Amino acid sequence: MKMKKPGRLLTAMVTPMKENGSVDYDQARILANKLIDSGSDGVVVVGTTGESPTLVRAEELKLFAEVKDAIGGRASVIAGTGSNSTAEAVETTIQAEETGVDACLLVVPYYNKPSQEGLYQHFKAIAEATSLPCILYNVPSRTVANLSAETTIRLSHIDNIIGTKEASGNFQEIAKIISSTKNDFKVWSGNDEDTLPLLSIGAYGVVSVVSHLAGKQIKDMIESFLACDIKRAAEIHYSLMPLFKTMFITANPCPLKYALNYLGFHVGKPRLPLVEPDEASAAIIREVLGNSVIDIPLP
């Protein structure tokens, strides 16, 4: 089984689009490298931020291959291969493994509201079909179904399920996962604003959106915390709060795509049914960007 370490700071990468709405693979290659340059240990490709609901399989697989080829061994590439269909998730994960990615991210099945036993069997089936390290992804605000701490703990006993991205915001449940899984089972924060609080109870890192704009600062926050410089980590956390809030002023990744385009790194518009922020929201984004230190190496 491939066990390249995914890293503590993973960026949930946007999917750049051309003017005609097609995927801009060349820009995706450039963006992936710039994210690594600005502190990311790896990138998640075709996650929520990458507009997974509106990409088709051929686009997803080409993105996995292009990004992996672009960054090589510099950092890890985690492929978003989850689905609310177990058979589809299994097939996509097998095909993703063939592209050379380092791990897969498996979202809780959405819409069909499976039971906890159904969730266990779903993730077990995917893990058994691949040699890739598998990272669970619990985001009940989008999926409706919540992956319970007990089910996560049960899944952690499967060898190649190596961790979870927790975006539930339920610190009590997340603490139960951290305290009751094996030492090498990793928990990544799925919300930027939760990163430092979760590190304080034993989380490993974050799958970040705001690291597109402040990767070096988020990396510094994590490293400061690990070095027991809690004061500095807290200062960075507080300084980034406006960005954390504003990048979710409307549905992700609409604010982030607007911000990157505004700053001069062209990633195109989101695909329908997502649209660009309205002018009131855009004005807030511009104001916050103007008051923030942006450290991604832009063109």
- 33 lies in a domain? yes
Does the pTM exceed 0.85?
A: yes
- 261 lies in a domain? no
Q: Both tokens of residue 43?
A: 């990138």
- 257 lies in a domain? no
Average pLDDT value for the chain? 96
- 262 lies in a domain? no
CA–CA separation, 267 and 262 (whole Å): 10
CATH code at position 74: 3.20.20.70
Report yes or no: 255 and 247 within 8 Å, Cβ to Cβ.
yes
111 dihedral zone (left: phi>0; alpha: psi -120 to 50; beta): left
- Number of structural domains, the chain? 1
- pLDDT tens digits for range 33-76: 999 999 999 999 999 999 999 999 999 999 999 999 999 999 99
Q: Are strands 134-138 and 186-189 parallel, antiparallel or unpaired?
A: unpaired
- 156 lies in a domain? yes
- 168 lies in a domain? yes
pLDDT of residue 297: 63
Could you list the residue range(s) of the whole structural domain that residue 187 is in? 9-237
Question: pLDDT confidence of 2, banded at 50, 70, 90?
Answer: very low
- 230 lies in a domain? yes
Nearest by Cα to 9 from 206, 202, 237 = 206
Residue written as tokens 């592209």? Answer: 99
Question: pLDDT confidence of 295, banded at 50, 70, 90?
Answer: confident
Report yes or no: 17 and 39 within 8 Å, Cβ to Cβ.
no
- 289 lies in a domain? no
Rounded alpha-carbon distances, angstroms, from residue 186 to 45, 176, 244, 272: 19, 13, 23, 34
Active site residues: 137, 165
14's CB contacts (< 8 A; 6+ apart) are: 31, 49, 50, 51, 212, 253, 256, 257, 260, 267
Nearest by Cα to 218 from 202, 194, 201 = 194
